[in-house]
Amino acid sequence: MKKWALAAIIYLLVVIAGYTVYAQYFEKTNAPKVEASENHEHQEQKQKGQVLSQFHYEDGSIHIRLTDLSNNPIPLEVNHEKLLHLIIVDESLNYYAHLHPTKVGEGEFTVEKALSNGKYKAFIDIKPKGLDYSIKPIPFEVGNSDEGSPKNHLVSDSSLTKTVEGKTVKLKMSSTKPNVPITLSFELDQSNLEPYLGAMGHVVILDKKANHFLHVHPEREDQPVFVTQFDKEGIYKIWAEFKQENKVRVFPFVVEIKK
């Protein structure tokens, strides 16, 4: 075979091989790019459904900012007559405050509340428009926490009757087992019981470590009867809030949930 014919055949084989490699590479590098872009877009949409809570305490002033992951302010719906309920407890769960910060801008709220030195957890209870939201504890410290509140040594109450400022409330629980609906019925003088935030009372529940938060409202607007459920065994603290004679009083109970 002549040299020029052999060279032509070799050249043709090189061109075919080169085109085959290029076509495979081009196909491999292009298709995934579109798919990756679509996945990224889907993830972005899911991430934008999250709520970021920025909480800052300084010199008796609390500032809260609520945004999505793109730093856009979160629109809120009114929830029991307020846009935002703020619950603060100390490390020992002896201190409890239920506050309603004032809106000062889109997604921004402030409230004045002087706190003693110690470790605390804040719970921001909101209802974002069109977004899912779960309440998580926000730990923070004030001053030298070593000089603050004592450690948590909760034990269940031997009596579920409490008296605060001359007003007595008795708690009755339909069960003390986990993972079942439990009715919390409160016996109190209802002759002077007034609506508070659109209901005849409010109940906030925390586990011993203040990690699991429940904010419960009455089953009926005219009765202090609540239904909730405890997912795990353990010690829980219940704060029941009732408005009587134009004053809101908080009645604390400690219960044990066990099988």
Residue 10 makes CB contacts below 8 A (sequence gap 6+) with: none
| Of 144, 152, 145, the residue nearest 119 (C-alpha) | 145
- Tokens 């909730």 -> residue: 228
CA dihedral 231, 228, 123, 239 (to 10 degrees): -120
Distance of alpha carbon 188 from the chain centroid: 31
Spatial separation of the C-alpha atoms in residues 64 and 88, rounded to whole Å: 13
pLDDT of residue 112: 98
Spatial separation of the C-alpha atoms in residues 156 and 256, rounded to whole Å: 6
Decide: helix, strand or coil at residue 210. Answer: coil
pLDDT of residue 48: 43
pLDDT of residue 151: 67
- Mean pLDDT score of the chain, rounded to an integer? 83
pLDDT of residue 150: 63
> Which one-letter DSSP state was computed for residue 82?
B
Answer whether residue 23 shows pLDDT above 70: no
Spatial separation of the C-alpha atoms in residues 226 and 203, rounded to whole Å: 8
Answer whether residue 214 shows pLDDT above 90: yes
Spatial separation of the C-alpha atoms in residues 231 and 247, rounded to whole Å: 33
- Range of weakest confidence among 3-12, 124-133, 161-170, 217-226: 3-12
Answer whether residue 21 shows pLDDT above 50: no
Scored b (16 or more CB within 10 A) or e, 59-81 reads: eeebebbbbbeeeeebebeebee
Answer whether residue 145 shows pLDDT above 90: no
Answer whether residue 219 shows pLDDT above 70: yes
Answer whether residue 87 shows pLDDT above 50: yes
Rounded mean pLDDT, 5-22:
47
Spatial separation of the C-alpha atoms in residues 108 and 257, rounded to whole Å: 38
pLDDT of residue 127: 93
Hey, what amino acid is at 136? K
CA dihedral 130, 134, 135, 141 (to 10 degrees): -100
pLDDT digits (tens, 9 = 90+) for 96-109: 999 999 999 999 99
Rounded mean pLDDT, 235-256:
97
Stated length of the chain: 259
pLDDT digits (tens, 9 = 90+) for 158-197: 999 999 999 999 999 999 999 999 999 999 999 989 999 8
pLDDT of residue 33: 30
Could you tell me how many helices (H) and strands (E) the chain has, helices first?
Answer: 1, 17
Single pTM value for the model: 0.78
Answer whether residue 206 shows pLDDT above 70: yes
